[in-house]
């Protein structure tokens, strides 16, 4: 891939478009009662896989959007390494997911909102660019961050209201 194509694929317009789609996926997850995190995997400007959290649906605590996406992406490209891919996700990955991104040798991560409680790429830890690990990835943050935060805030506000009503 040429440097010109590479810079085009990292343009704000591309990032915003892919993040909007990840937000749509996250919104659908919210409707299923899942924490609204959506993710898309992009290779050479095309979406090759998408996912959302499926922890409630599957009963699997590891069924985060990013982990599911890494599995789908690896199957699609036919190898575990995703060195030419960018992952767009609405919320900063946790430690488990950040470790998976490093293990998959992902080229780039672009996330929306920081996760001040569990974030492992910028907020609490910096797993994705830790020099002690064998791979580091490009990390861009803040794309549609406000929209991502709003979706999460609304979800948890609704959940708290529902919990109060359950006890009345």
As annotated, the active-site residues are 66
125 close to 111: Cβ distance less than 8 angstroms = no
Strand order in the sheet with 46-52: 46-52, 38-43, 85-91, 108-113, 138-141
Residues with Cβ < 8 Å from 106, sequence gap 6 or more? 70, 82, 83, 85, 86, 87, 137
Question: For 51, what's the count of Cα atoms within 13 Å in the CB-facing half-sphere?
Answer: 19
């Amino acid at each position: 891939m040429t440097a010109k194509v590479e810079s085009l694929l990292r343009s704000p317009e591309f990032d915003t478009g892919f993040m909007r789609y990840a937000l749509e996926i996250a919104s659908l997850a919210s409707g299923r009662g899942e924490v609204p995190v959506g993710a898309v995997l992009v290779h050479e400007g095309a979406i090759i896989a998408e996912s959302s959290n499926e922890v409630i649906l599957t009963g699997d605590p590891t069924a985060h959007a990013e982990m599911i996406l890494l599995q789908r992406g690896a199957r699609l490209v036919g190898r575990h390494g995703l060195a030419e891919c960018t992952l767009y996700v609405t919320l900063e990955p946790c430690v488990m997911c950040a470790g998976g991104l490093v293990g998959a040798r992902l080229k780039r991560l672009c996330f929306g909102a920081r996760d001040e409680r569990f974030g492992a790429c910028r907020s609490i830890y910096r797993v994705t660019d830790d020099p002690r690990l064998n791979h580091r990835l490009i990390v861009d943050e803040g794309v549609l961050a406000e929209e991502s935060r709003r979706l999460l805030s609304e979800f948890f506000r609704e959940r708290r209201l529902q919990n109060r009503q359950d006890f009345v």
